[in-house]
Amino acid sequence: MFAPDDTIVAIATPPGRGGLGMVRISGPRAAAVAGALLHGRKSLEPRRATLMRVVARAGDAASAIDRVVATSFPGPGSYTGEDVVEICAHGSPVLLERIVSLACRSGARLANPGEFTLRAFLRGRVDLVQAEAVADLVDAVTPLQARVAFDQLEGTVTERIADLDRRLLDLTARLEASLDFPEEGYHFIETTELARGIGELSAGVRALLAGAAAGRLIREGCRVVVLGRPNVGKSSVFNRLLGSSRAIVNSVAGTTRDLVTETLDLEGLAVDLVDSAGVRATGDPVEAEGVSRARRAFDSATASLVVLDRAEPLAADDRDVLRETSASPRVVVVNKIDRPPAWSPADLPPGEGELVVEVSARTGRGMGRLRAELRRVLMGEAVPRRETPMVANIRHIGLLERAESALRAAAGAAERGAAEEFVLEDLQRARRALEELTGKRTPDDVLEHIFERFCIGK
Ligand SMILES: Nc1nc2c(ncn2[C@@H]2O[C@H](COP(=O)(O)OP(=O)(O)OP(=O)(O)O)[C@@H](O)[C@H]2O)c(=O)[nH]1
Ligand SMILES: [Mg+2]
């Protein structure tokens, strides 16, 4: 997997028809492979878009199959660091596949998922954090996800880690020197300076981890389930939040039987919003299955919206749902405020009224506040700021935590006056964690796992 001495080819645009489609070739023979299938009055010049024809040969006969714009990017200044040729053709899947098969006939082979970016990583064009950002950017479903991934690709996290690594290297080098030349009679680093250095590094890692929970939520999205007894307006609230009539709304209690899931962009947060069957005891086996699915959806959700009907007296089923959800993040949604009230939020059982938003799913009143409160329940007060690099990937978080704990151990050892070897060992552990993060020292199986999730052609 990690010996990129051959030439690869893949369609870089999504499957299906499009105005244009792109085939990408990378590797030492990229120019020769492209030369065998492209014909034009001018030959390809580096970084110059050139109008050419793709020609298919069979024996002596040659026939043109498309007019394309081809661009060559000689290595090492290309995306992969190798010679690359990009062919922009008309976006018919059969045509693009034909171009790929012609390239394969001329000596290229089909690329594996993520192989272009893997090559960019292996040739040092990007570090591992940036390579992962490419996959996140392609996968982004909200503008905020795309922004966080793009900043990571631009190197915000990379630079911060490189800076920590440099300082860590400096400390370890000086400690090593002290160990190597004990006869010099002095230490290359004073203990107070060592302690201060470790403290600053620790603070730097902690600063990166501070925004990590929010970062992870942005990157991974989350699941929110709409719960409540039948007919309170769950599907209506669900539809209002989505801005579409996705779920069936009806005055018959027990309308929703199955889970209905849609993705909601909550100010950049990708929320899988789940509408569920009204929770009540029922003899109908289909409805009972719906109720048990609602409960399971609640178990796997990050938070819930518990909907109550203010126009009807609170029922035992309402109290049951309130009790069952009270220990996890939720917003209590008091619905139908366009109708005369049968009760007020002050009547809610003690402790159950902590986060109540009054709305009318019919008129839309209160929905803005509901969105804001839901976001607050999910993200806290965190407002992602562009100046602070955002760590969002669970792999990065795990390794930063490992570095942090090694630094803490080093600080403890230094404070106890332990031998320098022990402090050094902890610092080296911290370094290894950072090096695994950036890909300087990452096990092959981890790399394989990372690049597997890429699409082909990226
Ligand atoms: N006046 C008024 N009626 C509402 C409001 N929200 C929902 N309704 C009505 O309440 C009834 C039930 O709405 P649904 O959204 O289907 O309720 P549900 O909780 O999903 O019901 P089930 O799926 O049966 O559990 C429908 O007739 C809606 O039109 C509201 O804010 N005001
Ligand atoms: Mg419903």
241-278 confidence digits (pLDDT tens): 999 999 999 999 999 999 999 999 998 899 999 999 99
The pLDDT assigned to 330 comes to: 95
Which of 227, 234, 249 for a ligand 1 pocket mutation test, highest count of atoms within 8 Å of Cβ? 249
Evaluate: CB of 248 within 6 angstroms of ligand 1: no
pLDDT category of residue 68 using cuts at 50, 70 and 90: very high
Q: Is the distance from the beta carbon of residue 26 to the nearest atom of ligand 1 less than 6 Å?
A: no
pLDDT tens per residue, range 380-436: 876 667 777 899 999 999 999 999 999 999 999 988 888 888 999 999 999 999 999
- 14 pLDDT band, cuts 50/70/90, is very high
47 lines ligand 1 (CB under 6 A): no
The pLDDT of residue 3: 64
Q: Please state the atom number of ligand 1 nearest to the C-alpha of residue 278.
A: 25
Amino acid (1-letter code) at residue 393 = N
Maximum C-alpha span of the chain:
89
CA of 327 to the centre of ligand 2 (A): 24
Q: Identify the residue with better confidence: 125 or 417.
A: 125
Mean pLDDT of 113-122: 94
Closest approach atom of ligand 1 to CA 239: 15
Which ligand 1 atom sits nearest the alpha carbon of residue 256?
A: 23
pLDDT at 420: 82
Dihedral, 443, 449, 455, 457 alpha carbons, nearest 10: 30
Write the DSSP string, 205-264. HHHHHHTHHHHHHHHH-EEEEEE-STTSSHHHHHHHHHTS--S---SSTT---S-EEEEE
Q: How far is the CA of 408 from the centre of ligand 1 (A)?
A: 55
Residue 185 pLDDT more than 60?
A: no
pLDDT band at 2 (very low <50, low <70, confident <90, very high): low
pLDDT 10s digits, 45-57: 999 999 999 999 8
What pLDDT is stored for residue 283 in this prediction? Answer: 87
Q: What's the pTM?
A: 0.84
Average confidence (pLDDT) over 372-380: 91
User: Strands, DSSP E only, in 3-108?
Assistant: 8-11, 18-26, 38-39, 50-58, 61-73, 84-91
**Ligand 1 pocket check for 290: Cβ under 6 Å:** no
- Closest ligand 1 atom to the C-alpha of 360? 31
Instruction: For the chain, list the domains and their CATH numbers.
Output: 8-122 (3.30.1360.120), 137-211+389-439 (1.20.120.430), 223-379 (3.40.50.300)
Residue 335 beta carbon below 6 angstroms from any ligand 1 atom: yes
283 neighbors 204 (Cβ within 8 angstroms): no
Decide if pLDDT at 65 tops 80: yes
3 state SS for 319-367: HHHHHHHCCCCEEEEEECCCCCCCCCHHHCCCCCCCCEEECCCCCCCCH
